[in-house]
Amino acid sequence: MRRQSEHPHATEIRALFQQLGSAEQGLSDAMATQIRARCGDNSLPLEPPRPAWRRLLAQFHNVLIYVLLLSALLSLLLQHWVDSGVILAVVLINAIVGFIQEGKAEDALRAILSMSTSHCLVMREGRLKSIDSRLLVPGDVVMLQAGDRVPADMRLFVCKDLRCDESALTGEAQPVSKQLHALAPDTTLAERRNMAYMGTLATYGMAQGLVVATGLATQLGEISSMVKRVHIRPTPLQQQLTRFAKQLALGILVFAALAMLFGIWFHQLAPAAMFQAAIGIAVAAIPEGLPAIVTIALAMGVQRMARQRALVRRLPAVEVLGSVDVICSDKTGTLTANAMTARELFSATNSYQISGEGYRPEGAITDRSTGQRVLPEHDACLTRACEIALLCNDATLSHQDEQWSLNGDPTEGSLLVLALKHGQIEQSLAQQWPRIDVLPFESANRYMATLHHNAEGTIRLMVKGAPERLLGFATTQLGNPTVEPLLPSAWEAAMADFAGRGMRVMALAYKELAHRPEVLKAEDVEHNLTLVALVGISDPPRPEAIASIRMCHQAGIRVKMITGDNPVTAAAIGAELGLRVERVLTGQDIDGLTPQQLSETVEQADIFARTSPANKLQLVSALQNNRHVVAMTGDGVNDAPALKKASIGVAMGQKGTDAAKEAADFVLTDDNFSTIAMAVREGRTVYDNILKSIIFILPTNLAEALVIFSAVLFGLMMPITPAQILWVNMITAVTLALALAFEQTEHGIMRRPPRPFGQGLFTPALIVRMLLVGGLGASIVFSLFYAYRVQGATIEYARTIAVNALVMIEVFYLFNCRQLTQSLFHPRSMHGALPALLAAFSVLCLQLAFSYLPVSQQLFGLASISGWDWLLIVSCALPVLVIVELEKAWLRHALKPAPQIPAHGAIHS
C-alpha cells in the first residue's frame, strides 16, 4: 500500500483528486473494490502472539540456568536424589515466575490497532454512507464531525472550524485548528494543518477530507512498523549475569580439572577418587541459589514499586532503572499536567499570578508584585475578566471519584477554571446574566462573542479571542473601576512577554449595548470594545516533576525533554523544570545531522522540540550508542517506538495510550514523573541487594571449594564431603543469602552517580573480598578439622566440627554484607536487621537438627559434638567478621576524596 502523493500536505487538492482518480462526490463502489483489492484493508496487520510453550521454554534460555542444571546433574552423579530434586525445583520455580510475570503476549501493535475506528461516514456513488473503516481506500471522501476518531490519513478540502486532538501522535498539548491551503514539503508533522491523521480525535467543528493513505501507509501504520522493527536489548543486569555466569562456569571447570589432574599426577591418587573430588569442588563453587535469589530480589522490587504506583510489566526491568543515567521524557502529560491552565493575567491596572494546575478549580490569584491574594470585591478589573471567562464559554467541568475532567475545548476549560478560582459561581452567574445569543468561534474571525442581559435591563456583549484581533476592535480599557482610553503599547508588550515565555494568549473584552440586536452579528462585535485582560495559558509543569528532576540531577542522571511541541513553548517549560535551555534542537535539525553528529549533539542539549516518532527513536539510539542506559517516558502513540527501544520504557497509566503501555516496561498509575525517581531509587536498591547476595555467595563458595582443593593439593582427606557442601549451599541460599534480598535502601543512594556502563560483576575489589573471605574460611575449616583429627577425633566428629564452622563463618559474614561499605556498627546499620536475624536463627536451628538428628548423622556422616566445641567454633569464626569490617574501613578511607561515589562503586572499583 502506497501513498499516491509523496507529500499530500504540499500538493494542491485538485491535483490530489486527479492523482487518486476521485472527485468531491467520492468513488464508485466498483472503483473502491478495485483499489481495495490492490491496496488491502485499512487496518494494521498483527503477527500472531508467541505461543505459551515457546515463552515458557524461553525462561530456561539463560546461562545461569544452565549452571544450575549442571549443578543438578552433578548431584545426580553423586546419587543425591533429594538435593538434585531441590535444585531442579528452583529452576522450575524461576521459570514459572518469569513466565507469569511476562503475562500474556505484549504487543504494541494490538494497542495501535485499537485506535482505529469501526465505522465512518464516506461519500460513495455521490451519497453519504456509513461503512466499516477497514473498507476505506485512497481516494475516498470522508466526513468528519466533532467526537469522531479520524479513520485514515486525509487531506482536508472542506473545513468548518475543525480542531483535532493530536497529542497522542505529535505531542502537541492543545487541539490543532485545521485549514485548507497547501504547505511547504518540509513542514513538520505537528504543523501540517491541512491534514487529519488516523487515530487522532476531532474535538470541534466539522470537515471533509480526501483519504490519501490507509493501513500501514498512514502515520499510525508507519509507527506500528517502527515498533515492530525495534530490537530490544538485554538489560544491563542480564548482560552482566550472562558474562558473569560464563566466567564463573569456565573458572569452575578449570579449577576442578586442575585439582583432579594434580591429584592424579602429583599424589598418584586414584582417578575415580579425584573425579569425585573434582565434582565436590564444582558443587562447592556453583552458586545454586543465585538465579532464584536474583528473581526473588526482582520480585520484591516489583511488589514495593506496585505499592508506590509503578506497575512492572517485565521482571528484569526492575533493576534497569538502577543503572539509568539518562531519562528522556515526553513533555505533555508526563512532565506537564496535560491540561491547559490559565497561569497569568494582565490588566490595565495590575498583573496577576494564578496557582494550581489542571482542571481542578483550586488555587489562588495573587498580585505578582506583592504576592498577596486578590479578593473579588477588591479588584473590579479581575472580577470583570473572570465574568467574561465564565460566561463567554461553552466548556463544562465534571467531578467524579475525586477527579476533575473537562467537557469541551481545553482553552475554554482553562478560562472556566480561572473564573472558579476567583470565586465566580457558575450557575448563579449564568442566572444573573442569561445568554441571549452567541457568535461561535470561527477561524476566520478568531473570536467568540456572547450576548447577555441582567434583571436591570443592561445588555452586555462579552468577547474572548486572539489578542491582536481584539486589540484592533478596542478603543478603551477597563481601569479600576472606570473605563479609560486604550494604551496599545502596554497591551502589546504584555502579549509579547506571554508569547516569549511559550504561553498561548487569550484576550477578554466587553461592551455595553444601548439596545438588544435581533441577531448577534460580527459588526456588533468589531468596534468600540473595552479591553479587560490578557490571559496567559499553558500546560504547566507538574510541581513534583520539578523536584524529581532536581533529585535526578543529584543522582547523576540527565533528564532530556523530547516533545512534539514548538521550540518556544518547550524552552519555556524546560526552564521552569530546571533543564538546560541554551540549545533547543528541532526535528528538522535532527534530520539534518549525520549519526556521528547526532551522537555528539545529543550530549549538548536537553530539549528537543517538534520531534517525530522517528526522531525520538533516533535520539534514544544515539544515547545508547554513546553507552548510556536510557529510560524513556511517554504517553502517546508517537512515543511507542522509543519506549520499546529504550533500555527501560515508562508509560503513563491514566492518560497514556494503550500503544504506549504495551510498548513499555513500567506503567505509572498516577502519571507522575516523580514516581520515576522513586523507581530509580528502588532499582538501585534491587541492584545493591543482588550485589550483596553475590558478595556473600561467591566468597563462601570459594571457601568451600578451597577446603577440598587444599586437601587434594596436600594429598589429605577432605574435611567436608560434597554432600555436606551441597547441604550448606542450599540452606544458606534459601536463608542467609535470601535475607539480603529484603535489605532496605542504603542511606544516600540517590546521591550516588549511576554505575558505569558495561561494568562487570567480577571486579578487583570483589576478587579481593573473595580471596580474603575464601582464604580465611578455608584456613579455619581446614585447621579445625585436622586439629581435631590430631587429637584423635573420628572423621565424623571432625567433619561435624568443620561443616558447622563453615556455617558459622557464613552467619557472621552475612552481617558484613548487609552494608556494602558502611560499618556494621554504624547506628544506621541496625535498622532493618530483622530479616538477617531471622535467617541466622533459622540456619542455627537447621544446623542443630543437621548435626544431632540420627537420620541426618547417618545420611551425611556426622556425630554429636559438645557445647565447648560450639564455643570454639564461634570464637574461630568471629574474627572473619572483624577482618572484613577492617577491609571495609580501608575502602571507606580510600574513597574519602570522593565521598559521593556510590557505595556499590567501592565493590566495583
398: burial class by Cβ within 10 Å (0-12, 13-18, 19+)?
exposed
Sign of CA dihedral 205, 206, 212, 217: positive
Closest CA to 344 of 494, 194, 451: 494
Contact 614, 230 (CB under 8 A): no
Which residues does residue 158 pair with via DSSP β-bridges, in sequence order?
208
Rounded to the nearest 10 degrees, how much is the dihedral formed by the CA atoms of 824, 826, 831, 836? Answer: 10
**Which backbone phi and psi does 780 adopt, to 5 degrees?**
-65, -50
Residue 355 sits at φ, ψ, to 5 deg, of: -90, 170
Quick check: 381 and 532 in contact, CB under 8 A?
yes
Kindly list the distances between the CA atom of residue 769 and the CA atoms of 434, 692, 738, 887, in Å, as whole numbers in the listed order.
81, 12, 20, 9
Contact, 637 vs 218, CB < 8 A?
Answer: no
330 is catalytic: yes
In angstroms, the CA 895 to CA 908 distance is: 12
Give me the numbers of helices (H) and strands (E) for the chain, helices first please.
34, 27
* CA proximity to 782, closest of 720, 728, 721: 720
C-alpha cell recorded at residue 262 = 594434580
Nearest to 40 by CA among 124, 137, 152: 137
Q: How many CA atoms lie within 13 A of 155 on its CB side?
A: 27
User: What is d(CA 124, CA 245) in angstroms, rounded to the nearest whole number?
Assistant: 65
Query: Residues near 15 by Cβ (< 8 Å), separated by ≥ 6?
Result: 5
Residue 725 in contact with residue 284, Cβ under 8 Å? yes
C-alpha cell at 439: 457568535
SS (H, E, C) 68-80: HHHHHHHHHHCCC
Cα–Cα distance for residue pair 875/867, rounded to 1 Å: 13
Cβ atoms of residues 352 and 365 within 8 Å: yes
Angle, helix 764-790 to helix 795-817, in steps of 10 degrees: 150
- Residues contacting 300, CB < 8 A, separation 6+: 686, 689, 741, 742
Catalytic member of 107, 330, 565, 688: 330
- What are the grid coordinates assigned to 677, written together? 525517581
The grid cell for 20 is 487518486
Backbone φ and ψ for 341, nearest 5 degrees, come out as: -135, 135
What is the β-pairing status of strands 607-609 and 558-562?
Answer: parallel
Distance between CA atoms of residues 396 and 409, nearest Å: 9
**Which has the closest alpha carbon to 554: 749, 366, 739?**
749
Residues constituting the chain: 909
Element (H, E) at 274: helix 271-285
Taking the C-alpha atoms of residue 708 and residue 281, their distance in angstroms, rounded to an integer, is: 6
If we measure between CA atoms, which residue out of 175, 157, 160 comes closest to residue 411? Answer: 175
Task: Kindly report each contact of residues 258-265 with a partner whose C-beta sits within 8 Å and lies 24 or more positions away, as own/partner.
Answer: 259/708, 259/709, 259/712, 259/713, 260/712, 262/712, 262/713, 263/712, 263/715
Active centre residues (catalytic)? 330
